[in-house]
């Protein structure tokens, strides 16, 4: 979409504008899905629509008459003040308001060559959210699937991580998303490559088009070509009546996400390369050639450079795909994000399970920080889900963790716990008082037995559980019960 570098306003023409035309302009301004705001040469807001006001969780009339500098102390919208000062328009600037990303154009308004103010035109880079005014702030909604595409439910706002690596990665994503260059996402399994692919699509100019995913590893080789390009009726035995449209054609005007691209056969690599170069599709068994305008985002957890070196992946295709590279770091290299991610999954599973889990014990957080997470974010999510299935309170503790995670801090925990056991044992004698119930006596006896067993096992809880003939989670529950953690 093209915009003029300035907007010229004639005072006489404005005065002579008939009511119906003015009403039409106001209707367009107010009902635009884009955020619109006009300031005067003094920086005071003269007009703002509901879409933009909602970003500040308020109504337009609460903003009109206020100085932009007062309400946008840390927002990229302050660029508008610079445009008023120097008269130079700025286009395609990616900034944020209250953590929400947007793509902004800032245009000076001139009358007889003199700057009278400036217009901001913002496109919020989050199609899954519908901006509304009032106390409810932002109402989430799913973007409907279009022409065979998937619901895009992830945007850059869904990417959790404040580590330096993730901040840089998200900034790069927002810079490259509005362009049309192909992108190769690399990273270990479970790092969230599809999340990034959807976020790229959601922040691109193609976001209203389809997002089509093809998993190159999940579809049999014999069917993958027809999945890519489609087929005409009768092209092969077992095909659908009337044939089938290929996913590269379905993705026309949008984005195709090629997951596990490293598993693509050499023969199909050549055909994909031709499509990327020519943007042309020919169905199997058909003669008609169609053009499909598609942006390709590919992902892999293997080293494609290594595959190119050993002639297992086409070098020319690799360079066509790897125009922009986004490498997602494994979770062990951004440990400062682990707890934030864990809390986000707790919120997710609270909704799904209908529970009110408040968090994790410090011991669990320490275990999460120390564990190497070979399965990355996916493994962390599965660990939290497992805890939700076995917990009986509102806090995730050691008893709810898989043993292979709890084992990694057993040695440190043993040395710390042994000191605690020594202290408790010194002040603990088994004695019964008149009036004690049988239940109280049994609890007192059980606590003493557990303390003695932990002493004998030198604080090793796995060994203690074995000696007591109970499960490890069962021992942890008793440790919590008797305040022996």
The CATH number that domain 7-131 falls under is 3.30.450.20
pLDDT band at 128 (very low <50, low <70, confident <90, very high): very low
Q: Mean per-residue pLDDT for 50-67?
A: 86
pLDDT band at 237 (very low <50, low <70, confident <90, very high): low
pLDDT band at 153 (very low <50, low <70, confident <90, very high): low
Compute the distance between CA of residue 182 and CA of residue 177 in angstroms, rounded to an integer.
10
The CATH number that domain 156-327 falls under is 3.40.50.300
In angstroms, the Cα distances linking 210 to 2, 69, 153, 230 are 23, 39, 13, 17
Q: Over the stretch 297-343, which tens digit does the pLDDT of each residue have?
A: 999 999 999 999 999 999 999 999 999 999 999 999 999 999 999 99
Q: Mean per-residue pLDDT for 117-136?
A: 57
Q: What is the pLDDT of residue 463?
A: 80
Do strands 114-124 and 35-40 pair parallel, antiparallel, or not at all (unpaired)?
antiparallel
User: To which H or E segment does residue 91 belong?
Assistant: strand 90-97
In angstroms, the Cα distances linking 305 to 256, 308, 320, 347 are 22, 5, 13, 39
Q: What is the pLDDT of residue 180?
A: 92
Where in the chain are the domains?
7-131, 156-327, 335-481
The CATH number that domain 335-481 falls under is 1.10.8.60
Residue 370 CA, chain-centre distance (Å), reads: 24
Q: Mean per-residue pLDDT for 177-193?
A: 96
Q: Over the stretch 8-18, which tens digit does the pLDDT of each residue have?
A: 554 444 444 44
Q: Mean per-residue pLDDT for 282-310?
A: 92
Q: For residue 394, what are the contacts with CB-CB under 8 A and spacing of at least 6?
A: 355, 356, 357, 358
Q: Which of 168, 276, 155, 267 is CA-nearest to residue 221?
A: 267
pLDDT at 5 over 60: no
Pick the more confident residue, 116 or 18: 116
pTM of this structure: 0.61
Instruction: Tell me the β-bridge partners of 245.
Output: 230
Q: Which of 145, 265, 293 is CA-nearest to residue 212?
A: 145
Compute the distance between CA of residue 239 and CA of residue 45 in angstroms, rounded to an integer.
62
Compute the distance between CA of residue 447 and CA of residue 428 in angstroms, rounded to an integer.
10
Q: For residue 286, what are the contacts with CB-CB under 8 A and spacing of at least 6?
A: 231, 232, 235, 243
């Amino acid at each position: 979409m093209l915009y003029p570098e300035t907007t010229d306003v004639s005072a006489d023409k404005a005065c002579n504008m008939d009511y119906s035309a003015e009403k039409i302009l106001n209707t367009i301004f107010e009902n635009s899905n884009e955020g619109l705001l006009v300031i005067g040469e003094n920086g005071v807001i003269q007009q703002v629509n509901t879409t933009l006001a909602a970003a500040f969780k308020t109504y337009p009339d609460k903003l009109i008459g206020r100085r932009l500098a007062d309400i946008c102390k840390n927002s990229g919208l302050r660029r508008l003040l610079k445009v008023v000062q120097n008269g130079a328009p700025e286009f395609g600037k990616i900034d944020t308001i209250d953590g929400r990303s947007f793509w902004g154009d800032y245009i000076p308004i001139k009358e007889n060559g003199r700057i009278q103010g400036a217009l901001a035109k913002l496109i919020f880079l989050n199609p899954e959210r519908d901006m509304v005014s009032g106390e409810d702030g932002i109402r989430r909604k799913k973007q409907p699937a279009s022409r065979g595409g998937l619901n895009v439910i992830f945007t850059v706002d869904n990417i959790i991580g404040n580590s330096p690596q993730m901040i840089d990665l998200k900034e790069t994503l927002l810079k490259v998303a509005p362009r049309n260059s192909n992108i190769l996402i690399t990273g270990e399994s479970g790092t969230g490559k599809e999340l990034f692919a959807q976020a790229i699509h959601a922040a691109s100019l193609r976001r209203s088009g389809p997002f089509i995913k093809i998993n190159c590893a999940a579809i049999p080789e014999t069917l993958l070509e027809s999945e890519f390009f489609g087929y005409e009726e009768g092209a092969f035995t077992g095909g659908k009546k009337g044939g089938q449209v290929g996913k590269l054609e379905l993705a026309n005007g949008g984005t195709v996400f090629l997951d596990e691209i490293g598993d693509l056969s050499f023969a199909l690599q050549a055909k994909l390369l031709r499509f990327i170069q020519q943007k042309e599709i020919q169905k199997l068994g058909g003669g008609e050639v169609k053009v499909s305008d598609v942006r390709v985002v590919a992902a892999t957890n293997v080293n494609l450079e290594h595959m190119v070196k050993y002639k297992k992946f086409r070098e020319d295709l690799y360079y066509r795909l790897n125009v922009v590279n986004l490498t997602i770091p494994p979770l062990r290299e951004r440990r400062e994000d682990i707890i934030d991610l864990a809390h986000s999954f707790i919120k997710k599973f609270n909704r799904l399970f209908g529970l009110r889990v408040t968090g994790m014990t410090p011991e669990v957080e320490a275990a999460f920080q120390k564990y190497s997470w070979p399965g990355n974010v996916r493994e962390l999510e599965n660990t939290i889900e497992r805890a939700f299935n076995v917990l009986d309170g509102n806090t995730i503790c050691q008893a709810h963790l898989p043993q292979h995670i709890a084992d990694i801090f057993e040695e440190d925990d043993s040395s710390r716990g042994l000191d605690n056991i020594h202290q408790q044992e010194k002040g603990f004698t088994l004695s019964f008082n008149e009036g004690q119930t049988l239940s109280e006596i049994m609890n007192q006896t059980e606590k003493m037995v557990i303390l003695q067993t932990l002493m004998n096992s030198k604080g090793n809880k796995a060994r203690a559980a074995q000696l007591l003939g109970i499960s490890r989670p069962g021992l942890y529950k008793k440790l919590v019960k008797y305040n022996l953690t």
